[in-house]
Amino acid sequence: MSGTSRRGGRVGRALSSVAVGLGCVLFLGGFVLAAFLYQPYTVPTNSMAPSVSSGDRVLAERIEGHEVRRGDVVVFRSSDWGDLPMVKRVVGIGGDTVACCDDSGRLLVNGEPIEEPYLDESERAASPTGFDTEVPEGELFLMGDDRTDSLDSRSLLAEGEPGTVPRDAVSGRVTATVWPLDRIGSLSEAKGFADQPGGISGTGPFWLLVWATGGGAVLIILGGLHGPFVRLTSRGRRRDGVPSSSVTHNEGTHG
């Protein structure tokens, strides 16, 4: 009986060490990869509400301009827009014809109506002002999700400017909101653009990294609790008059 207990103790300690080691790899690996692949950003205005709001802390996947797809919410910087980091949604890429609106108030991209469930329900149309433009090659046409209160490509278009932004002005694709707590979550996919050439962007590795770091933390905690749990149960056995494996072994030796 005592030999079985000792073997069980050794197996428990081995499993505990494996759990802690694996947990450290997952936690640290996930954290380092997340820091390498994502950049934090604080949203400065409500122009992208309700998807993201002023003061929200978001994570943006680091991407290059050629990776941008229609429907992406991107972080970009352009001298024509004040040369400050801004967040907008890509609704058109080079070669697209973007117009508003059809009889149902929907945005038209290459003549196809786009469903945009991420807009506020109070938005009666994809834009309160009509427009029809062709996006130059290598450029992006951007709009805020708050279509009645967003300075975006439409504003510059109304001033006689192209209103577009170069692809290489983009530094990140917003994946998730991480603060405040009541708004934590990933952004919904812009599936309305899925049938356009090139489709839409995937979700990226965000949730995989979340599960890796979270799972790693759980393994570290559970593995670390093994020792205290064994000592606690051993003391309980002694109080109940049941000797621990080491006590039983010593008694057998002296006898």
Residues with catalytic roles: 47, 88
> Quick one: tokens of 185?
């979550």
- Is the separation of the CB atoms in 51 and 73 below 8 Å? yes
DSSP secondary structure letters along 4-52: HHHHHHHHHHHHHHHHHHHHHHHHHHHHHHHHHHEEEEE--SSTTTTTS
CB half-sphere exposure, 141, CA atoms < 13 A? 26
What residues contact residue 250 under an 8 Å CB cut-off, 6+ apart? none
What residues contact residue 186 under an 8 Å CB cut-off, 6+ apart? 175, 176, 203, 206, 207
Q: Is the peptide bond before 50 cis (omega within 30 degrees of 0)?
A: yes
